[in-house]
Amino acid sequence: VGVHKRGCNGRSYTLEYTKSKGHSDKEVVQDGIFVERKAQLTLVGTEMDYVEDKLFSEFVFSNPNIKGTCGCGESFNI
């Protein structure tokens, strides 16, 4: 899991598959997820959930650090 500069509000979540932990990644042992080093402070306290509906399925992030989001919901700022 990472955060990259993107979108009209500045930042966006990224998800990538990996088989091993990078040297600067932080492992969330409970869930087997690796967090990029540069995203660690941005993601402190964030909860990630997988939601399925009749029309879509997606990962949903609940980040207490967010100060604002764009109208389309694709990016956020801290």
Which residues of the chain have a pLDDT value below 70? 7, 9, 29-30, 73
Dihedral sign for Cα 37, 40, 43, 48, please. Answer: positive
DSSP secondary structure code for residue 37 in this structure: G
Amino acid at position 56, single letter: F
Q: Are 30 and 37 in contact (CB under 8 A)?
A: no
- C-alpha closest to that of 42 among 73, 14, 7: 14
Spatial distance between the Cα atoms of 56 and 52, rounded to a whole number of angstroms: 6
| pLDDT at residue number 57 | 93
CATH topology for the 2-77 domain: Hypothetical Protein Aq_1857; Chain: A; (2.60.300)
| pLDDT at residue number 29 | 66
pTM of the model: 0.69
- C-alpha closest to that of 76 among 7, 21, 30: 7
